[in-house]
Amino acid sequence: MEKVNVDVAKLEKEFETRSAEDVLKWAFDTLKDKVGFANSFGAEDVVLTDMIAKIWPKGKIFTLDTGRLPYETYEVWDALEEKYGIRIEPYFPDARCVEDMVKQHGINCFYKSVDLRKLCCKIRKIDPLRRAFAGLDAWITGLRRAQAVTRTAVHKIEIDEANGGMLKLNPLADWSEKDVWDYIKKHKVPYNKLHDKNYPSIGCAPCTRAVKPGEDIRAGRWWWESPDTKECGLHKK
């Protein structure tokens, strides 16, 4: 991964009022095979899959298979590949690192402390992400400002300092939850069926639960922690 020689401040301002499709078109026209989409199969990510399949069908789409994903996530993965005729590249955690963590701390160590939960996220998600970035100058995410208190400052185009200064593109930054679901329904996009069971945000199975009426949409992620720690480290500033 390398820093891209572009005026990010100018692009950030220019694309703030542009559509998600415009952001993606600019990215693939400018960066071509140097940009990849990190797909976690949530509602936002299936929207982006649909857009990318129509704009740049051969674009790199990858996912981080932690080994503890819900069955429903694998179902939508398969459905997206079938509908769009694509292959989504999997990146798995290093088996030895997972084995050592479980031997030392236990199979569900992430419930014991924030530090252990972050260790698990590092091994299962962050380290594989670094491998996925090989050869890329930019990555695309489904982040939205309305998702969480940790995401209110997200820009459509920004520098990812935590990942060597590569570009980070968040085409849906200004979308509402309604915008997401209106798109899914209009374009008949396959989606994770856990969403129909009050799972607005879906990660690993043991770290995700349904939310109760009136709860925040991220309340079901790492629900035993305080809201200001509810990130796995993939989107660290």
pLDDT in tens, 174-230: 999 999 999 999 999 999 999 999 999 999 999 999 999 888 888 899 988 877 665
In angstroms, the CA 199 to CA 27 distance is 31
Q: What is the DSSP secondary structure assignment for residue 7, as one 8-state letter?
A: -
Report, as an integer, the average pLDDT of 36-49. Answer: 97
Q: Is 53's pLDDT higher than 90?
A: yes
Q: Is 136's pLDDT higher than 50?
A: yes
- pLDDT value of residue 150: 63
- Residue 120 falls in the annotated catalytic set: no
- pLDDT value of residue 7: 85
Report, as an integer, the average pLDDT of 8-21. Answer: 92
- pLDDT value of residue 228: 65
- Percent of the chain at pLDDT above 90? 78
Q: Is 235's pLDDT higher than 80?
A: no
CATH class for the domain made up of 8-93+132-199: alpha beta
- pLDDT value of residue 107: 97
Question: Using one digit for the tens of pLDDT, what is the confidence trace for 77-125?
Answer: 999 999 999 999 999 999 999 999 999 999 999 999 999 999 999 999 9
pTM summary value:
0.89
| Residue 231 binned pLDDT confidence (cut-offs 50, 70, 90) | low
CA angle 152, 91, 22 (to 5 degrees): 45
Q: Which residue in the list 120, 121, 204, 232 is annotated as catalytic?
A: 232
Reduced 3-state DSSP string for 53-116: HHHCCCCEEEEECCCCCCHHHHHHHHHHHHHHCCCCEEECCCHHHHHHHHHHHCCCHHHCCHHH
Helical H runs in the chain? 8-15, 20-31, 43-55, 71-84, 95-105, 114-121, 127-132, 177-187
For the chain, which residues make up each domain, given as ranges? 8-93+132-199
